A = this chain, B = another copy of it.
Amino acid sequence: MSWNGFGRVFRFTTWGESHGPAIGAVVDGCPPGIALSEADIQPWLDRRRPGQSRFTTQRREPDEVRILSGVFEGRTTGTPISLMIENVDQRSKDYSEVANAYRPGHADYAYDAKYGFRDHRGGGRSSARETASRVAAGAVARLVIPQVRVRAWVEAIGGDAIDFQQFDDAEIDRNPFFCPDAEAARRWEGLVDDARKRGSSLGAVVACEATGVPAGWGAPLYAKLDSELAAACMGVNAVKGVEIGDGFAAAASSGEANADPMRSGPDGPVFLANHAGGIAGGISTGQPIRLRVAFKPTSSILTPVETVTRGGADAEIATKGRHDPCVGIRGVPVIEAMVTLVLADQALLHRAQCG
């Protein structure tokens, strides 16, 4: 029930600020006997790591994870797994202006209103840097449900969407946008470059699919699988919308068009469609879980915006620092992590109640 933890029986708690000495996560409730080393986590952190292309923040963080507990002789012991990532490339001087004036769209004003006080360096706790902890925890979760494959990608940037006919899973790892459509990736180079040069930023839609989830996961009514996924994704920085399956398109549909008809198959029922995104009544149906997430444009931009100071005076603010021109891009590994964390938790919850 803590403010900074997530999950019910497979649970993680994160800590750390953008410009503190380190960030980290404590993963609690992991089953024992799972082979785990830093090498299982590092590749996922590397996917999210900043500074890998000109389309993400130029902060250079090695993001090297250390496992401080919970593993003995290469296997999990069932006790808490403490993961730590040191912060290396902080430049706190960049943030002097932010200390006094609020960046519109950012958490600055709200944190001051809540706590009367905030660590302004790099956004402090509200920085997207915290999501590295989520990715590290998510890498552990993957090992809990090895039968499940969770895969996310960018589906649109600044309103420019991919062509689903061109969808190529392998392409996702070949371009700096996690874009499954090579042609769209080329267009986005110009689009994001242009935004960056203008001191602007762009929003994005990230889609995620989980295959290999058996029918029966999810805990109605108040830990429904879709509800848990929505909470997990909406809690990621800059996310403002979540859809399961057809989402808002279903709201414009009719009962017969939106039904996912079933036919018998050799290994149980076969669905002829997946409008529901693999979840009915809050429980997985055995179809792929599908969801889409809306990331707003990065709110820290060079273009000056009207604001007020802590003292209450009108001002303009242009956020210098080093920021992602499209924070949704690096949201891909984060959404994957959150979806995996929910599924691992629900897998264990299901086992608790239903054996």
Contacts and interface: CB of A to CB of B under 8 A. Distances in A.
Interface in A18-33: 20-24, 26, 28-33
Contact of A116 (B3, B30, B32, B121): B32
Nearest to A155: B251
Nearest to A302: B255
Interface string A185-223: 000000000010000111111000000001111111111
Interface stretch (A54-62, A167-175, A274-282): A274-282
B297 A250 contact: yes
A248 interface: yes
Interface string A1-40: 1111111110101111100111110101111110000000
A343 to B, nearest CB: 14
Given A13-B80, A240-B244, A221 B130 contact: yes
B308 A259 contact: no
A283 B352 contact: no
Contacts of A227: 230-232, 234-235
A207 to B, nearest CB: 11
Interface residues of A, number: 156
Most buried by B among A80, A116, A121: A80
A70 interface: yes
B262 A308 contact: yes
A109 interface: yes
A48 interface: no
A15 to B, nearest CB: 4
A249 B299 CA distance: 15
A222 B6 contact: yes
B17 A79 contact: yes
A260 B104 contact: yes
A146 interface: no
A262 B280 CA distance: 43
B4 A222 contact: yes
19 contacts: A1-B1, A1-B11, A6-B222, A15-B70, A77-B117, A77-B124, A80-B125, A105-B280, A110-B216, A110-B218, A110-B284, A113-B214, A159-B252, A227-B232, A227-B234, A241-B241, A250-B295, A255-B297, A264-B308
